[in-house]
């Protein structure tokens, strides 16, 4: 006969078991992966455990915004509940979701073969996982000649620029802090929707991890399955996040820069609104992934004195250009006609200036649905904007990049943005003069960033201790430069020779190899 004490113990543990239920783990080993190409593996053999349908979607003691609403929705509707979602923490637990809070979420663990090789830390993209993935890494490059956040590393490395968009198109959502790249100035060369970048350092990603986890959980089961098959999970989550920011109330707000900053402030995230919109989405509501293609442009593979590449990023949802030319204006012709609507609805397109001077950016949509646009941009000197929310003591942030958002509307919803970015060398001081009412030309460039204490990214830009003043022929042709070294009163003439220019200049472009990744400091 069972003792009274044993009976009480059984009652106690059976009653409280749901409260302490912990998420499942799956361990990735070498047996589950095959090499796709050098440096990239496919985890084709990885199998997620069956979803614990009897477990709570969120723990009873989860008190974050949106958790209560999610419980109510789960009691009334058939929702995904995080079935088929894999959590990939890539900072070895430094800033990780608590498995007790999401009992149905599967947590990925790496075997020693991967951790010893450093494949479990830093940017995602070397191992592709067969699941809907939510992940993060609170690490940064803190040593070497080019310290930077993980997002800026991804934007300035050819390898990561190639794999990061592929993650986005394969249902992967990763969150990375901006760690010192978006404080006094925005140091990012592009604005892209391929990841969520949080304002701050270690731990600033947590707010977004919780918001996205609950958003994924709230999706109706058929909607989640539709998104998974169409590989639209990440773009749809990006749309939900941006549409429900605290400062985004209307469609016009959503189609403006308010909803599409380079870096997101955690205090503007409204998880409850995100959960509510996710729960209301039906499969035929889902907008497409906008796919951009440059038809024609004036940006080239050899611009400026050093003849360096101007076309930094060419991907479906992000195009990035670096202004190296001496010209006052540049032009691009870009089309979104390759965009495919998952429900075969007719699409219309919106092209909106998200950041930049509206007096120096001209956008001319073409065609009946606006799928193509001619974009003309004039030179931008660096400018400052107020940091949102800093009311008592207003802080300013410097920018030197134009962003243009492209949105597809299927008659129900606007899509996540595809973004065209044009980055200006903010460390240079340029002067232009009017030739006539329709044209301006370069007068001079001060290249000496060091003497002015101006920051430049050594992986993208260079500087020199001189100022060049342009000399033109009577017909307006650029003949060369009157070069004056810093601190010198005399100048020497240097002829302009576009074809052979780069051999005359010793350019410090930094070291583009993978630096060591270390944990960030606490903010």
Clarify whether residues 389 and 450 are in a common domain: no
Q: Give the tokens for residue 415.
A: 């899509």
Question: For the chain, what is the largest distance between any 2 Cα atoms, rounded to a whole number of angstroms?
Answer: 110
Does the residue 516 lie in any domain? Answer: no
pLDDT at 520: 45
The span from the CA of 68 to the CA of 60, in Å, is 9
Clarify whether residues 217 and 340 are in a common domain: no
Q: Consecutive 10-residue runs of the chain (523 residues): their mean pLDDT?
A: 41 37 88 93 94 87 93 95 97 97 97 96 97 98 95 98 98 98 97 98 97 98 98 98 98 98 98 98 98 98 94 98 98 98 97 98 96 98 88 86 98 98 97 92 97 96 96 95 94 77 46 39 36
Does the residue 518 lie in any domain? Answer: no
Does the residue 315 lie in any domain? Answer: yes
Clarify whether residues 366 and 434 are in a common domain: no
Last residue of a domain, one of 286, 305, 329: 286
pLDDT at 382: 97
The span from the CA of 153 to the CA of 161, in Å, is 9
Clarify whether residues 239 and 268 are in a common domain: yes
SS3 labels along 361-396? EEEEEECCCCCEEEEEEECCCCEEEECCCCCCCCCE
Clarify whether residues 386 and 270 are in a common domain: no
Last residue of a domain, one of 240, 267, 286: 286
Question: Which residue shows structure tokens 């605290």?
Answer: 246
The span from the CA of 373 to the CA of 455, in Å, is 33
pLDDT at 501: 54
State pTM to two decimals. 0.92
Does the residue 521 lie in any domain? Answer: no
The span from the CA of 205 to the CA of 177, in Å, is 6
Clarify whether residues 270 and 387 are in a common domain: no
Q: How many domains does the chain have?
A: 3
* Letter string b/e over residues 166-192, b meaning 16 or more CB atoms within 10 A of that residue's CB: ebbbbbbbbbbbbbbbbbebbbbbbbb
What SS3 class is residue 232?
Answer: coil
The span from the CA of 508 to the CA of 460, in Å, is 9
Does the residue 10 lie in any domain? Answer: no
| Alpha helices, H only, 255-344 | 271-280
Q: In Å, how far are 423, 444, 474 from 478, measured between CA atoms?
A: 24, 12, 10
Does the residue 1 lie in any domain? Answer: no
Clarify whether residues 43 and 161 are in a common domain: yes
DSSP secondary structure of 118-176: TTTSSSS-SEE-SSEEEEE--EEE-SSSS-EEHHHHHHH-HHHHHHHHHHHTTTEEEEE
Residue 350 domain boundaries: 293-423
pLDDT at 417: 98
CA angle 239, 41, 139 (to 5 degrees): 60
* Letter string b/e over residues 468-492, b meaning 16 or more CB atoms within 10 A of that residue's CB: bbbeeeeeeeeeebebbeeeeeeee
Clarify whether residues 112 and 224 are in a common domain: yes
Clarify whether residues 336 and 442 are in a common domain: no
Does the residue 249 lie in any domain? Answer: yes
CATH of the domain at 365: 2.60.40
Does the residue 2 lie in any domain? Answer: no
Helix 271-280 / helix 67-76 crossing angle, nearest 10 deg: 20
Q: Give the tokens for residue 76.
A: 């009334």
Clarify whether residues 372 and 443 are in a common domain: no
Q: In Å, how far are 108, 270, 438, 503, 523 from 390, measured between CA atoms?
A: 38, 19, 40, 48, 17
pLDDT at 508: 41
Number of Cβ within 10 Å of residue 229's Cβ equals 12
Clarify whether residues 465 and 382 are in a common domain: no
Clarify whether residues 227 and 95 are in a common domain: yes
Last residue of a domain, one of 251, 266, 286: 286
């Amino acid at each position: 006969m069972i003792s009274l004490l044993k009976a009480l113990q059984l009652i106690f543990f059976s009653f409280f078991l749901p409260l302490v239920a912990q998420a499942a783990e799956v361990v990735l080993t070498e047996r589950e992966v095959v090499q796709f190409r050098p440096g990239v593996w496919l985890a084709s053999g990885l199998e997620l455990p069956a979803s614990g349908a009897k477990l709570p979607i969120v723990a009873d003691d989860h008190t974050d915004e949106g958790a209560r609403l999610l419980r109510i929705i789960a009691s009334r509707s058939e929702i995904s509940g995080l079935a088929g979602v894999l959590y990939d923490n890539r900072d070895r637990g430094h800033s990780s979701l608590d498995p007790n809070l999401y009992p149905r979420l599967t947590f990925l663990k790496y075997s020693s073969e991967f951790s010893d090789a450093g494949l479990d830390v830093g940017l995602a993209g070397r191992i592709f996982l067969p699941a809907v993935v939510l992940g993060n890494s609170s690490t940064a490059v803190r040593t070497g000649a080019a310290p930077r956040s993980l997002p800026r590393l991804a934007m300035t490395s050819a390898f990561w620029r190639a794999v990061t968009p592929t993650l986005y198109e394969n249902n992967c959502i990763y969150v990375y802090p901006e760690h010192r790249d978006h404080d006094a100035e925005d140091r990012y060369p592009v604005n892209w929707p391929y990841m969520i970048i949080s304002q701050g350092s270690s731990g600033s990603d947590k707010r977004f991890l919780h918001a996205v986890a609950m958003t994924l959980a709230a999706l109706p089961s058929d909607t989640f399955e539709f998104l998974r098959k169409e590989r639209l999970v990440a773009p749809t989550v990006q749309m939900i996040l941006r549409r429900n920011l605290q400062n985004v109330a209307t469609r016009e707000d959503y189609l403006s820069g308010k909803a599409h900053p380079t870096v997101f402030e955690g205090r503007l995230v409204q998880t409850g609104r995100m959960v509510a919109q996710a729960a209301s989405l039906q499969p035929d509501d889902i907008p497409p992934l906008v796919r951009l293609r440059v038809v024609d442009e004036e940006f080239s593979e050899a611009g400026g004195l050093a003849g360096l590449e101007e076309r930094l990023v060419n991907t479906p949802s992000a195009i990035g250009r670096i202004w190296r030319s001496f010209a006052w204006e540049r032009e691009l012709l870009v089309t979104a006609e390759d965009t495919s609507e998952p429900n075969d609805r007719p699409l219309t397109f919106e092209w909106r200036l998200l950041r930049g001077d509206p007096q120096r950016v001209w956008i001319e949509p073409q065609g009946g649905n606006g799928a193509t646009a001619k974009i003309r941009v004039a030179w931008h000197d660096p400018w400052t904007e107020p940091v949102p929310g800093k009311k008592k003591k207003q802080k300013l942030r410097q920018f030197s990049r134009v962003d243009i958002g492209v949105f597809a509307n299927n008659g129900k919803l606007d899509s996540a943005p595809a973004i065209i970015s044009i980055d200006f060398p903010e460390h240079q001081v340029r002067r232009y003069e009017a030739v006539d009412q329709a044209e301006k030309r370069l007068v001079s460039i001060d290249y000496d960033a060091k003497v002015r204490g101006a920051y430049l990214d050594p992986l993208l830009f260079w500087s020199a201790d001189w100022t060049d003043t342009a000399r033109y022929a009577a017909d307006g042709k650029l003949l060369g430069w009157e070069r004056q070294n810093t601190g010198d009163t005399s100048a020497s003439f240097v002829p302009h020779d576009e074809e052979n220019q780069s051999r005359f200049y010793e350019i410090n472009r930094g070291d583009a190899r993978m630096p060591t990744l270390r944990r960030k400091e606490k903010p």
